[in-house]
Structure 1
Amino acid sequence: MRVLVVDDDAVQLLVLKKIFEKSHNTVVVAHNGKEALEELHKDPGFNVILTDIMMPEMDGLEFLGKVKEDVLTKAIPVIGFTAGDVEYYRKKTPVPFDSLVPKPMDYWDLYNLAKTKASPFLN
Structure 2
Amino acid sequence: MKVLVVDDDAVHLLILKKIFEKSEDEVVLAHNGVEALELLERDTSFQIILTDIMMPEMDGVELLLKVKTSLRTMRIPVIGFTSGDVEFYRKKTQIPFDSLVPKPLDFWDLHELAKRKAIALMN
Pick the TM interval, shorter chain: over 0.9
Where does residue 3 of structure 1 map in the other structure? 3
Question: By how many angstroms is 1:120 displaced?
Answer: 3.3
Where does residue 72 of structure 2 map in the other structure? 72
Unaligned runs of 5+ in 1: none
Q: Using the alignment, how far apart are the partners of 1:9 and 1:81 within structure 2?
A: 12
User: What is the SS of the residue equivalent to 2:105?
Assistant: coil
Where does residue 101 of structure 1 map in the other structure? 101
Aligned residues: 123
TM-score, normalized by length of structure 1? 0.98
Q: Using the alignment, how far apart are the partners of 1:35 and 1:121 within structure 2?
A: 24
Q: Which amino acid aligns with 1:38?
A: E
Where does residue 31 of structure 1 map in the other structure? 31
Pairwise CA RMSD of aligned residues?
A: 1.0
Q: Which amino acid aligns with 2:27?
A: V
Please list the CA deviations of residues 47-89 of structure 1 after superposition, one character each: whole Å capped at 9, or x if unmatched: 0000000000000000000000000100000000000000000
User: What is the SS of the residue equivalent to 1:45?
Assistant: coil
Unaligned runs of 5+ in 2: none
Q: Using the alignment, how far apart are the partners of 1:21 and 1:39 within structure 2?
A: 19
Q: Using the alignment, how far apart are the partners of 1:60 and 1:6 within structure 2?
A: 8
Question: By how many angstroms is 1:122 displaced?
Answer: 4.5
Q: Using the alignment, how far apart are the partners of 1:24 and 1:122 within structure 2?
A: 18
Q: Using the alignment, how far apart are the partners of 1:57 and 1:88 within structure 2?
A: 20
Q: Which amino acid aligns with 2:76?
A: I
- Percent identity reads 70
Q: Which amino acid aligns with 1:22?
A: K
User: What is the SS of the residue equivalent to 2:46?
Assistant: coil
